[in-house]
Amino acid sequence: MAGDAGDTPLPVAVLISGGGSNLQALIDAQRAGELPIHIRAVISNRADAYGLTRAAAAGIPTRVLSHKDFPTRAAYDQALSALLEAVDPGLVVLAGFMRILTPGFVAGFHGRMFNIHPSLLPKYPGLHTHQRALDAGDTEHGATVHFVTDELDGGPAVLQARVPVLPGDDAERLAARVLAQEHRIYPLAVRWFATGRLRLDDAGRVLLDGRALTAPLDLADVIPH
């Protein structure tokens, strides 16, 4: 469904669980004319997610689908899949969606679902990435946009941004600098997908402009400082 920037905007659904700052970055890029997408729905598993307020302020339909209302993870994912299929998204964007998705759900959106993770994958999949980077004595940290597969935070990576770990950093300060970079790389990766430049092929390779990536791109190389 992706096409040239002049074509019909790509329909997108965004899944959130919290503040929705990456959702806001997408909304802002769309409003600025930098992102040819139409966010058709924002869905949260938590009714108190502030991202729902952000979506409502932008006039985007919202839905709450609480995982607490379902007996199993599979039952929840089946209901979530039905909600998404009704929206008919060309791309599903996970923006702080704190749920481990079942393989069946992931398979239904293969090649059209993104996640952003606050580490330089494959380092530190899962939670508490900033503290783990500090505990390991890393000198740099960052964030990664990747296609979603049924391996937790293990899908093919597209784009990364790096930040230095500074003397005196704690997890909160480091997280804030990483988040600022997330707000840069997520709209960029979505734009590549929406304009037809980026896709996942049948062999699981990331193709950008028809060329397979052997490693995720670095933001500093794409947009030099």
The per-residue pLDDT for 223 is: 76
For the chain, domain boundaries:
10-222
- Annotated catalytic residue 117: yes
Cα-Cα-Cα-Cα torsion 69, 74, 80, 81, nearest 10 degrees, comes to -160
The per-residue pLDDT for 115 is: 98
- CA–CA separation, 189 and 136 (whole Å): 29
CB atoms within 10 A of CB 93: 28
Which CATH superfamily is 10-222 part of?
Formyl transferase, N-terminal domain (3.40.50.170)
Is the whole-model pTM more than 0.85?
yes
Cis peptide before 122 (omega within 30 of 0): yes
The per-residue pLDDT for 225 is: 45
Smallest CA-to-CA distance from 39 within 88, 1, 109 is with 88
The per-residue pLDDT for 193 is: 98
Q: Which stretches within 124-203 are classed as H helix?
A: 129-135, 171-194
Q: Is 198 helix (H, G, I), strand (E, B) or coil?
A: strand
With a cut of 70, list the residues of the chain below it in pLDDT: 1-6, 224-225
Question: In sequence order, what E strands does 46-88 have?
Answer: 62-64
Which of 117, 130, 141, 183 does the annotation list as catalytic? 117
- CA–CA separation, 74 and 57 (whole Å): 32
